[in-house]
Structure 1
Amino acid sequence: MAAEPIPPITLPPIQDPQQEGEWLRVALQTWLDQEFIPESINQNIAQRAAQIFVRQRLEGENDLGSLVIAIVTEMQAFDFRETFFSEFAVANAVSDLILDSLGIDRCCGQ
């Protein structure tokens, strides 16, 4: 049985960039704080990832896979030396948070 490719996930067009960015920033910072320990750098990571996400969305990018790749690419410039996280962990967390918010089960790609 061949593995089925995961279908692309397209987000609805952005309605309220400020609200969407703030939701993502808060959700991501909460996730970062719970994953290890609350650190001040988590606020900077969440802020930066949310900025990248909203800017990409405002430019018309609604494909979740492309948004995740953009976060990985742009977060490479972020200084992660003070944290256990990496750009990949942050981008994956963003993807998971969005899938959860859409009610999409991420374990099985459905």
Structure 2
Amino acid sequence: MPNIIPNVALPIADQPEQEGEWLRESLHKWLDEEFIPEAVNADIAQRASQIYVRQRIEGETDMITLVMALVTELENYDFSKSFFGNFTVANAVSALVMESIGIDSRCCGQSDGSLS
């Protein structure tokens, strides 16, 4: 029987805007470090942060739901000037958030390098 990855429930957001600012800065840094710094990375981080904050303000705590909201809403974002896409950004957000609450999101032999 395959191992099922348990879902992560985040605590209720007391300060979603502060979470969003942290996420925007962390994601922007991750995007710049993952390939090369690009001006579009700031815009991508800002857009992802806005989606995340809105979801958190609406009371969302389920990590899978947050990731799916990011994937869905970023489908309309123009990634043509970027190395990244909506799935990469959503997965990076998930990994950054999980790392921030002490959950190791690496899988199957990935390196132990930090996302932050």
**TM-score, length-scaled by structure 2:** 0.89
Residue matched to 2:34: 35
Code of the aligned partner of 1:35: E
| Coordinate RMSD, CA, aligned | 1.2
Q: Which has the higher helix share?
A: 1
Tell me the equivalent position of 2:46: 47
Cross-structure match for 1:66: 65
Deviations 1:19-57 (A, max 9, x none): 100000000000000011111100000000000001011
Amino acid at match of 1:25: R
| Distance in 2, Cα, partners of 1:27 & 1:36 | 15
**Partner Cα separation in structure 1 for residue 83 and residue 77 of structure 2:** 13
| Aligned residue-pair number | 108
Q: Is residue 2:23 matched to residue 1:24? A: yes
TM-score (norm 1): 0.94
Structure 2: any 5+ residue segments left out of the alignment? 109-116
Q: What CA distance in whole angstroms lies between the structure 2 residues aligned with 1:42 and 1:105?
A: 25
**Counterpart residue identity of residue 8, structure 2:** I
Q: Which runs of 5+ in 1 are unaligned?
A: none
Quick one: distance in 1 between partners of 2:102 and 2:20?
Answer: 19
Please list, as runs of the form range in 1=range in 2, the aligned pairs for 1:90-109 lying within 5 A after superposition. 90-108=89-107
Cα shift readout 1:48-91 (whole Å, capped 9, x = no counterpart): 00000010111111100100000000001100000110000000
| Percent of matched pairs sharing the same residue | 56
State the shift of 1:107 in Å: 2.4
Letter in 2 for 1:39: E
CA-CA distance at 1:108 after TM superposition: 4.6
Task: Provide the C-alpha distance between the structure 2 equivalents of 1:9 and 1:92, rounded to a whole number of angstroms.
Answer: 14
For 1:13 and 1:54, how far apart are their aligned partners in 2?
12
